[in-house]
Each structure stands twice: as structure tokens, then as C-alpha cells.
Chains A and B, each alone.
Chain A
Amino acid sequence: MARTRPPLVDCDIHNELWPGALRPYLPQRWREYDETYGGRADGGTSYPKGSPRAARADAWPPSGRPPGGDLDFMRAQHLDPYDIRYGVLNCLTTACRQQNPDYAAALCRAVNEWQVAEWLEKEPRLRAGIVVPYEDPQLAAQEIDRAAAHPGFVQVLLLVRTDEPLGRRRYTPIFEAAVRHGLPVGIHFGGGRGRNPLTASGWPSFYIEDHTAMAQAFQAQVVSMVVEGLFERFPALRVVLIEGGFGWLPSLVWRMDKHWARLRDEVGHLTRPPSEYVREHLWVTTQPIEEPPDPRHLLGVLDEMGGVDRVMFSTDYPHWDFDDPDRAIRARLDPDDRARILGGNAMALYGLP
């Protein structure tokens, strides 16, 4: 039941591929490849989640499709009851990190066509991120150029665990294409191909560590993008960190500023303190929102971030660590701030009417 609240934009909803969903969208060559070989992405490392498909136990549609794979059920369980004005779909698929780059590109294209046909054209409240084979940035840029024409795509979607830090120059074509089309780049929780261990000391043992360590991957990406001068090269670039939390951001920015002051000669391409790039170019989504024992501490973090205008609400539906729009933020926010977080900031960033 929706309570009285400002318009809600959910910046992180997962639409899930169901078995065979991509067949109609794959060219014959890749359909055959798929039938003959199948995909390879994760290098065999995995941490079993706390629940099947990391989903809420109540999110399995009666149709038998996977959680997030049934638009009608998503409407009934999520979009309608929470009175969601817009939902941004971030389709998590291994298409984007297949080892075979051409197969990855074909799959991503198929995923995007499937998103248009099965989601964006059918439900006016939904928007989506363009899924791209980001480890082959040239192919990724081509897919951005192709897919950006559809108005339902509002960002380029990357996963945070990349093969190299995203500020490194090999990823430039992706950011170039995003800026060319005026699209933010969303970096979402997940990814990885088994190449880089989750920590600087290798692989931890447990899923709770994997999940917690995701915040460190986000921190590394922020540092890389800032310190490599990505925002000097692309002054119009906007980056959204999705499902990374944000409680760590002030401390990271302080640390960058402090050590930049002493080491700035090393990175002469930066013309300003790191904090300024972060403040101008980075947005964050809320889920999984930090739950400090004293909710006022969250207000403190928002203050340290320079206010709430870069913070956008998200639920992560249908996953287990879902945040409820009416209950997730326990701090007493100023009503205007609340409205900005729940919808205003996202509508401004994504250009939603």
C-alpha cells in the first residue's frame, strides 16, 4: 500500500531473461553457437547466495518464469503497489562479460532488442540500461551507438567488477559513446570473470564477504575514474554507482584529497582536488542503504556528501536485499530532500518527464 509520498523513481529493478528469451533476437550464427557451445563468463568462481537466484522468496512469478522475468507479475508485486512512476531496469546477464567478445556483442545486442520488445514497448513506466560487452570497448561503443536511438534507454550499464579499473584508457570508447549520446554510465553491483580476486589478498571464503566486498570494488572504480582524469577528458560524463551503497564515499574522498595534495605531481592531469570531480560527476543509488544503529549518522554522511542531490532511491527488486520504499530510509529527512532522493534527482538525471 503506497503511503503519501512524492513521486517514486526506482533506479534499480532487475528484469531477468527467461529460458529461450533471446532466441528470437539472435542471428542464426550465434543461435547455433549458443546451441553448440553455450556461454562462459565466470571462470568457475562463485559464492552461493543466501537464496536461489539471490531473489526474494516471494518474487517467483506463478508463471514459472524466474524472479524479475514476468512483466505482469512485476507490475502486480512491485510497480503498482508502490506506485512507482518510473523504474530503471538494469538487466544482469552474463552476456556483458562473455569470454568470446563477438558472442558477447551478439548476446548484448539481443538482450537490448529483447528489452525494447518485451519491456520498454510494453510498459511506459520502465526505462532501461544498455547492456554492453564492456571488456571489448570498441564493440561496446558500437552497441551504444546502435541502441541509444530508443528513448527507453537512459543509461549505459556496466558491472563493477571489471577486468581492469575503469579509468584506464582501454575503456575510453565506452565513455566517449555514452557522452556522445548524452547517457549516464551506470555501474552496477556484480560482474567479474574470475581474473581479479575479490580482495588484494585473494579470494575470501564466504558469500557474506563477497557481498560486503562489493563496496570495495566500487571504491576502486571511483578512485580509478577520478585519478586517471576521466572527468577531465569527458567533462559532460555522468556516472551512477548502483547498489554500491554510499556510506564509504566521504571517507574515500577525504583520503583521495589528502594524499592527492601530497602526490599531485604524479597526476598532473588533474586540475582540481578529487572531491570536486566526485561531487560533479558521480551519482549514487541508495540500496542496500546503510543502516547505522543511530539513523542520524546517515544524515551526517549525506551532509558530508555535500547534500542529497546526487542520491537516488532504488529497491533492487526482485533481489533478497531489496529496500522497501516506505521503510528503507529511517533517518528523518527534510521533506524536500526526501522528494529529491525518492524521485526528483533521478528524473533530472535521466531526463524523465
Chain B
Amino acid sequence: MVVELLGAGEARVYARPADWPDVALVDTDVHITPRSIDALAGFLPARWRDYVRESGVQSLESDLYPPRSPLSAMPGTRPEDGPPGSDLDLLRAQLLDPWRTRIAVTHCVYGVDGIHNPDWAVAMARAVNDWQHAEWLAVEPRLRGSVVVAAQDPARAADEIDRVGPLPEFVQVLMPVRARAPLGSRTFWPIYEAAQRHGLALAVYAGGAAGNPVTPVGAPSYYLEEYVGLAQAFQAQVVSLVCEGVPVRFPRLPIVLVESGFTWLPALMWRLDKNWKGLRREVPWVDRLPSEVIRASVRLTAQPIDAPDPARLGDVLDRLGSDRMLMFATDYPHHQFDDPALAAPADLPPDAMARFLGGTAHETYRLGEG
């Protein structure tokens, strides 16, 4: 099955562009989700299976993406019996095969972070991990997964990482960009410690249901504002992670921003560097320019590319000051680009292109041999 995208005037096929180099492609942002909450039932202990049933819980899927919005899913990615991203065969046919993807890093969030009952949250996180491992990761060797944790209870979140961390199919731990506290907060450090212990990355994804307004001036009216506003939420998390000293304390923990956009990063680095020069006494553990810390520790999945044209994008890449930060991503099944050729910056030198398509991901994640 082939997905056709409507570009400017012509239908384009959603597939790896023919002129890309023949490197092992790593797609760092692929969304998967259960067909329904029933799919998780078999992975829940009896008490929680019963709890879900007797409470009539229909779904934990967050409503951060309006379900029918044109950004949420490309045409043709919705299986008959579930939401987009819930069918492995479709994923193979639409993504892994036509893109000749060597590795796809998937994540399934499924609203666990929005649960208020910490015991239920822990049980659900565990169920999501067991479900994705059994039904996706163990079945399709091209897939890697993300550990879902209940950050509501960081100690038990760390236990969960210790439980599934030894499974090689997991490569990162997920935290929402809209979290209960800024992600640098020491509250979360047991999670980071466990992630580093197992060689997992920390992935900050575009979502979260913790309840704070998405903007620092309150909740906006439109989904467009909210989606655009996630970039500001990511900016705040970068600031928090750096200023609280997470990269200092966990130097072997890569921080991956998933679906964050990245054209905002140079200006943020300028601002943070400037402030740090005068205010660094407040955070003396930040003993280098924040931009250096960011370049060393932060990686970003490349969709969405919020730049109007290849030339402007090239300028932004120049300002990033590193060609080891961006990682190829489709954001499947979200509809981020019409022309697959635009999924990579134009005119990257061959070595930088190879890093973008897979090399940096191999350095970031425990993927084994490329």
C-alpha cells in the first residue's frame, strides 16, 4: 500500500527519495498506539483490568491532537478498526518498506502522564510497555521502543526502567514536554539516573496532560496556537534541563526532543548564553556556555522543519553550530510534509547527510551495529 500526498499540483509518493545516499536510515519519530484500551487489558493485572472495565474507561488517548485534524494523520494512515498508528502491517507497508527504514524509533504515550491515581498510572505504564514489546518490538525487528513511565511516582518510574531497561528493543525513556514540573527538577532525577544506568536516552515528546496551560499567559483558543506553542514549551524545558544541571549530573544521558521543531534553538542559545554570562552564579554547576552544553547533550528529531525554504533552513543549520544534533524523522502518521525530499535539509555535505539520516541516531541510541 502506498500513501499518496497532495503536493503543489501533483501527487507525491510517501517514500524515501531516490537520490538519498544508501545509508541505514533511522526514523526517530514514529507514533504507535493501541487499537483501543482493550488491547492493553491482557497486560494489566486483574485489579486494574477490572478497574478500567467497571469505571467504563473508553480511552486514555490524550486529546492534544484533535482526532480528525489534518495534522494528526496523513490521508490513508487510519486502519478500519483503530486510530492511525495502530496497525503494524500498515506501518510496514506505508513507512518501513517504502522508506527502506533500517530502524524506526517508536513511541506510544497513551495518556499515562495524565492519570492522577499514581498506582493506576504505574500499572498502565507497565501495561503499555509490555504491550508494545509483545505486539510491536518483538514482532518487527526494525522497530525500537520507548519506555513509558509514570513520572507521578519517580521512584516507581525508575523501577519500571530497571524492569524493561535490559530489553534491547527499548532505546529511550519518554517524558512529556508539558510535564508536572519543569523537567530539570530534581524530582525526576531517579528517572534520569535509571535511564543513564541502562544506556537509554531521555526523550521529551510533544505532548503531556499535566494541566498547566501550554503558554505562560494562559490557555489559547485554537489548536493552531497550541501546536505552535509547543515550541515555547520545548524552549522552557531546554532551559530547565540545562540550568538545573541535568547534563552535568548525567553526562551520558542524551536528551532527545521529539517533534519539537528546531529553528527556534539558535536564538534560545544566544539568549541563554547572554544571561548565563551575568547570572551564572545562581547556577554555578553550569560551568560552560549553555550553548556548549546544549550542543553536547541535546538531539532533535527533524520534524517539523519550521523553515520556509532550503536557503533559510541552511542559515539556521549554520547558526546551530553543529551538524550532530538533528536526526531524520517522519513523525508518521502525522502529516508534516508533502514532499519527502523536504524531510532532509537540502545540500548537506555527504558526511553530514549520513549523520542526519542515521549516524547521529546511532550515536544517540543503543542500536547496536549500524
Instruction: Check whether chain A touches chain B (CB < 8 angstroms).
Output: yes
Q: A residues engaging B (CB < 8 A)?
A: 50, 160-168, 195-209, 211-213, 215-217, 219-221, 223-224, 227-228, 245, 247-248, 250-252, 254-260, 262-263, 265-267, 288, 290-293, 297, 300-301, 304, 320-321
Say yes or no: A209-B274 contact (C-beta < 8 A), given A220-B216, A224-B225, A251-B263.
Answer: no
Measured CB to CB, the closest approach of chain A to B352, in angstroms, equals 19
Q: 0/1 per residue, B160-184, Cβ < 8 Å to A?
A: 0000000000000000011111111
With a CB–CB cut-off of 8 A, which chain B residues contact A221? Answer: 217
Interface residue B221 (Cβ < 8 Å from any Cβ of A): yes
Nearest opposing residue in chain B for A195, CB measure: B218
Select B232's contact among A203, A216, A256, A258, beta carbons within 8 Å.
Answer: A216
Q: Is there an interface contact between B271 and A165, defined as CB atoms closer than 8 Å? A: no
Q: Is there an interface contact between B266 and A247, defined as CB atoms closer than 8 Å? A: yes
A203 to B181, CA, bound (A): 7
Which size bracket describes the interface of B in this complex? Answer: 35 or more
With a CB–CB cut-off of 8 A, which chain A residues contact B271? Answer: 212, 215, 245, 247-248, 288, 290
Nearest opposing residue in chain B for A48, CB measure: B282
A293 to B318, CA, bound (A): 12
Q: Is there an interface contact between A263 and B212, defined as CB atoms closer than 8 Å? A: no
Select B217's contact among A161, A202, A204, A258, beta carbons within 8 Å.
Answer: A161
Measured CB to CB, the closest approach of chain B to A170, in angstroms, equals 11
With a CB–CB cut-off of 8 A, which chain B residues contact A199? Answer: 182, 212, 216, 233, 236-237, 240
Interface positions, chain B 239-292, Cβ under 8 Å from A, are: 239-240, 243-244, 261, 263-264, 266-268, 270-276, 278-280, 282-283
A265 to B244, CA, bound (A): 41
Interface residue B312 (Cβ < 8 Å from any Cβ of A): yes
A74 to B117, CA, bound (A): 57
Q: B residues engaging A (CB < 8 A)?
A: 69-71, 177-185, 208, 210, 212-225, 227-233, 235-237, 239-240, 243-244, 261, 263-264, 266-268, 270-276, 278-280, 282-283, 304, 306-308, 312, 315-316, 318-319, 321, 335
A256 to B181, CA, bound (A): 26
With a CB–CB cut-off of 8 A, which chain B residues contact A260? Answer: 224
Q: Is there an interface contact between B221 and A254, defined as CB atoms closer than 8 Å? A: no
With a CB–CB cut-off of 8 A, which chain A residues contact B283? Answer: 206, 208
Say yes or no: A227-B282 contact (C-beta < 8 A), given A200-B177, A201-B183, A217-B216.
Answer: no
Q: Is there an interface contact between B69 and A204, defined as CB atoms closer than 8 Å? A: no
Nearest opposing residue in chain A for B175, CB measure: A201
Measured CB to CB, the closest approach of chain B to A329, in angstroms, equals 14
Q: Is there an interface contact between B71 and A196, defined as CB atoms closer than 8 Å? A: no
A211 to B268, CA, bound (A): 12
A219 to B185, CA, bound (A): 24
Q: Is there an interface contact between B243 and A205, defined as CB atoms closer than 8 Å? A: yes
A250 to B304, CA, bound (A): 15
Nearest opposing residue in chain A for B305, CB measure: A258
Nearest opposing residue in chain A for B279, CB measure: A208
With a CB–CB cut-off of 8 A, which chain A residues contact B278? Answer: 50, 320-321
With a CB–CB cut-off of 8 A, which chain B residues contact A195? Answer: 218
Name, among B179, B223, B240, B283, the residue most crowded by chain A CB atoms within 10 Å (CB to CB): B240
Q: Is there an interface contact between A223 and B312, defined as CB atoms closer than 8 Å? A: no
Q: Is there an interface contact between B243 and A209, defined as CB atoms closer than 8 Å? A: yes
Q: Is there an interface contact between A223 and B208, defined as CB atoms closer than 8 Å? A: no
With a CB–CB cut-off of 8 A, which chain A residues contact B219? Answer: 164-165
Q: Is there an interface contact between B239 and A220, defined as CB atoms closer than 8 Å? A: no
Say yes or no: A160-B217 contact (C-beta < 8 A), given A165-B225, A216-B235.
Answer: yes
Say yes or no: A251-B306 contact (C-beta < 8 A), given A201-B180, A204-B182, A206-B282.
Answer: yes
Measured CB to CB, the closest approach of chain A to B233, in angstroms, equals 4
With a CB–CB cut-off of 8 A, which chain B residues contact A265? Answer: 70
